[in-house]
Structure 1
Amino acid sequence: MNSSQRNVLLIAYDEHLILSFLYCLRKEPGYRYYLLTHKAKSSAGWSRYLKDVHFYKDYSELERVIPECLRKWDIDVLMPIGEKESLEVSRNRETLEKLCKVMPLTDPEHFKIATNTKALNQFLLKQELPLMSATLDLDAPNFENRLETFPFPALLKPAQGAFGSGIVTMHTKADLESYLLKNEVDKEGFYLQEYVEGNDINFNVICKDGDILHYSYQESPPKQLGNYNKNDDLIFKDDPAVVETMRPMLKALNYQGVACIDIRRNPAGKIYLLEINARFWGSMMASMTKAGVNFPLLMLKLTVDEIAPSYQRKEGSQLSLQSFVKQFLGFKWPELKQLKYWPYLNDPMARIMKFWYQKFK
């Protein structure tokens, strides 16, 4: 590893995650950042913090392309940001570690369990950790009988998904039966889950050998049934109950590295697990600026076997643009830095090009 300037290879598709990651590391001296992505029009390529970018066409190429990039750029540190990229690196860890330092990642078997909600629920039940609300697998041998007593409203969910995509709301048993009759549904790839009203929580962690080293907690207001999109209104604080509830699960998975765990708290205060995102998350900049926890930097230091920088977890809030305007019109005078867009000004060309590519696909 070079003593003066170290080269870091990032692997990711989502440019917002890439740009957020780079923002969090922008003040750390002694590193140069390179990107491997298969998004042809990635605005991340315009970032002031990237040295170079290599584009590939399909995930199936990663096993070949990663070593090529490691050698071409003389990479010292490998850090996959996305979920699929992380799994590929985990699968080939033994080979890649001969070429550079590799970010801690959960072993492939437990990684696939953690990121498949249906498999995760089955795993947790075997561990006597009933963390999810009532579920019913569509391919269960006694599906019809169990459906008779299943609580509705419910959600028909893909076992693997992201950002709430693919979820269908079922208000009644009749709705589900009608939907299954009219649509070809992969019964192995979907399951039914009881809908729980309440607040959305993101519990973000860095783990080593299943132990939580660093974490942050953020909560957003309740959503209406049918709204499964992300929420930019966030409250950052601490919640020991969430930490202790999630700790046994992470230990059982022998979890390694970063995760964004989606949780729902019902009006009575009971906590339910929704899913594990085995990757960095969209609000990681806010985790740093509002909660005081710089996850990319902590992960980088852990990867290169250096002491983690000291920090103090703090409370804070982030406003969506809609909430900001509403408060402003109500003469409450919110601060501009409460918007998630404030850090975008630090890497303006990349953010402008992200808007441009989205507008003119």
Structure 2
Amino acid sequence: MKEKYSVLIPDGNSKLLTVVINCLSEHKGYDIYIISDEKRKEIIYPKNLKQIFVYPNLNHNTKNEWLAYVDSLVEKYNIDVVMPIDVTAIRCLSKYKTAINKTKALGLLPPFDNFDTANHKDELSKHLILNQLPAPKTLLYSKGEVCTNPPLKFPIIMKLCKDYEGGGEGLHFFKDQVQLEQFFFKTELDCSYLLQSYISGYDIDCSVLCENGKILAFTIQKGFMKGESDFTPQLGVAFLYEKALYEVVERLMTSLNWSGVAHIDMRYDENEKDFKIIEINPRFWGSLDASIIAGVNFTHFYCLASMGITFDVPQYKNIRFLKLLGLVKTIKKNKLFLFNFRFLLKNTPLKFYKKNPWPLLYIVYYKLRAGVTKRISKTNKTS
């Protein structure tokens, strides 16, 4: 084994870059290279970051130029692993693998058709039914089709079949038929959509790294502090193990012949006493830092698996983790929590800002500035 491996992140414009760099930098065996449209000020730039290449973002019209640029860097800097971290780059490299001359340098990527299946809510719904995998009752509707009286018991959930970044975007909740009718009266949908039965129970997620459908690493986490709504990411998660859930995820990943990472949103159905698949995020995820604190560095194991280096399935600890907003919320309720130094430094993102507090200060500054600007704008409107 080499002392140092070189890793190229080709989509440094992603919002996931900060958390990915935090986790990859925890292991000193990597030299990191990044392609981004700009040098982002809020990112922690670790000592093992060798270079940031400023290049326009990938889009459909520039894919050939972008692929050629990635390929040139792989050759020039002898890159060991190309690690795309977000949907657009993963999809592009999965579809156009042969555009990279050193294909062995490409990280684990899912089959292209299966990636699209996982990434599109309507196609995933069909896949789950076809493979007899547990999921909510789902009805699919085409663009322009109006359904105000679905054959489902209320409450129901509507999901728009568009590309969203997550966080509850494109999701609507209707407690009765009146709300659904009012929605269609006011809104003309410009995309297809699906309606699902609302499941009484709780959310629970599983993060995985796979190769050809086999799970190489995983964590299971359940939220204990909700965000702005029931459909936004949790501010606090607890890691645990649920055998029945893991077996469902195993079947799902096998059915997709999945390679690479994915984050599966699931829900426990308290009526049917089982775990149902809600959605797949076929990329790295925002709580990646929570996974590493629990004991699984998905970025490190992704690189190892991509280079064909074998390892045992890593074990994780049953810990609780608070995001920064969750930490602020907790401290507001209990000021004495500020003195729980062990938890603050070991079970929150503060662990990553201990050596270099600048990125945290940068984030806080711009959050405060945005808040002040918003208040001034409101004052001007009312005056």
| 1:317 aligned partner | 320
Aligned pair partner of 1:343 in 336, 344, 352 = 352
| 1:10 aligned partner | 9
* Alignment partner of 1:152 is 2:154: yes
In the aligned structure 2, how far is the partner of 1:151 from the partner of 1:88?
40
In the aligned structure 1, how far is the partner of 2:225 from the partner of 2:348?
20
Indicate if the aligned counterparts of 1:47 and 1:350 stay in contact, CA closer than 8 A.
no
Residues 253-287 of structure 1: CA deviation (Å, up to 9, x unaligned): 11111111111113444312111011111111211
- Superposed displacement of residue 196, structure 1: 2.1
TM-score, normalised by the number of residues in structure 1 = 0.86
Closer/same/farther in 2, CA of residues 158 and 23 from structure 1, 3 Å limit: same
Instruction: Count matched residues.
Output: 356
In the aligned structure 2, how far is the partner of 1:264 from the partner of 1:332?
35
SS at match of 2:222: strand
In the aligned structure 2, how far is the partner of 1:224 from the partner of 1:341?
19
| 1:353 aligned partner | 362
In the aligned structure 1, how far is the partner of 2:106 from the partner of 2:251?
26
The amino acid of 2:176's aligned partner reads: T
Gaps of 5+ in 1: none
Aligned pair partner of 1:182 in 171, 180, 186 = 186
- Superposed displacement of residue 36, structure 1: 1.5
Aligned pair partner of 1:67 in 66, 71, 81 = 71
Which piece of structure 1 moves more, 324-333 or 216-225?
Answer: 324-333
Which piece of structure 1 moves more, 30-39 or 13-22?
Answer: 13-22
TM-score, normalised by the number of residues in structure 2 = 0.82
In the aligned structure 2, how far is the partner of 1:28 from the partner of 1:330?
30
The within-5 A match list for 1:1-361 is 3=2, 5-13=4-12, 17-38=16-37, 41=40, 43-44=42-43, 46-60=45-59, 61=62, 62-96=66-100, 98=102, 101-129=105-133, 131-139=134-142, 144=147, 147-159=149-161, 160-161=163-164, 162-188=166-192, 190-221=193-224, 227-268=230-271, 269-290=273-294, 292-308=295-311, 311-319=314-322, 320-321=326-327, 322-329=329-336, 335-337=343-345, 338-356=347-365
Q: Identity over the aligned pairs, expressed in percent? A: 24
Residues 60-119 of structure 1: CA deviation (Å, up to 9, x unaligned): 233343223334544232001112111111112123252651111101110000011111
The amino acid of 2:212's aligned partner reads: D
Closer/same/farther in 2, CA of residues 112 and 135 from structure 1, 3 Å limit: same
Indicate if the aligned counterparts of 1:137 and 1:143 stay in contact, CA closer than 8 A.
no
Which piece of structure 1 moves more, 176-185 or 328-337?
Answer: 328-337
Indicate if the aligned counterparts of 1:206 and 1:295 stay in contact, CA closer than 8 A.
yes
In the aligned structure 2, how far is the partner of 1:32 from the partner of 1:41?
19
Indicate if the aligned counterparts of 2:226 and 2:236 stay in contact, CA closer than 8 A.
no
In the aligned structure 1, how far is the partner of 2:364 from the partner of 2:312?
34
| 2:375 aligned partner | none
In the aligned structure 2, how far is the partner of 1:330 from the partner of 1:285?
21
The amino acid of 1:59's aligned partner reads: L
In the aligned structure 1, how far is the partner of 2:340 from the partner of 2:29?
40
Indicate if the aligned counterparts of 1:199 and 1:223 stay in contact, CA closer than 8 A.
no
SS at match of 2:31: strand
Indicate if the aligned counterparts of 2:18 and 2:44 stay in contact, CA closer than 8 A.
no
In the aligned structure 2, how far is the partner of 1:175 from the partner of 1:36?
46
In the aligned structure 2, how far is the partner of 1:243 from the partner of 1:28?
27
Closer/same/farther in 2, CA of residues 37 and 121 from structure 1, 3 Å limit: same
- Superposed displacement of residue 171, structure 1: 2.0
The amino acid of 2:50's aligned partner reads: K
RMSD (Å), alpha carbons: 3.1
Indicate if the aligned counterparts of 2:331 and 2:338 stay in contact, CA closer than 8 A.
no
Closer/same/farther in 2, CA of residues 140 and 194 from structure 1, 3 Å limit: farther
In the aligned structure 1, how far is the partner of 2:41 from the partner of 2:337?
38
Which piece of structure 1 moves more, 300-309 or 215-224?
Answer: 215-224
Indicate if the aligned counterparts of 1:78 and 1:100 stay in contact, CA closer than 8 A.
no
Residues 321-360 of structure 1: CA deviation (Å, up to 9, x unaligned): 1135435558995831333333222443334334455566
SS at match of 1:228: coil
Which piece of structure 1 moves more, 113-122 or 338-347?
Answer: 338-347
In the aligned structure 1, how far is the partner of 2:366 from the partner of 2:82?
28
Which piece of structure 1 moves more, 175-184 or 327-336?
Answer: 327-336
Closer/same/farther in 2, CA of residues 248 and 314 from structure 1, 3 Å limit: same
In the aligned structure 2, how far is the partner of 1:119 from the partner of 1:20?
29
Indicate if the aligned counterparts of 1:197 and 1:267 stay in contact, CA closer than 8 A.
yes
The amino acid of 2:31's aligned partner reads: R
Indicate if the aligned counterparts of 1:77 and 1:103 stay in contact, CA closer than 8 A.
yes
Closer/same/farther in 2, CA of residues 173 and 39 from structure 1, 3 Å limit: farther
Gaps of 5+ in 2: 371-383
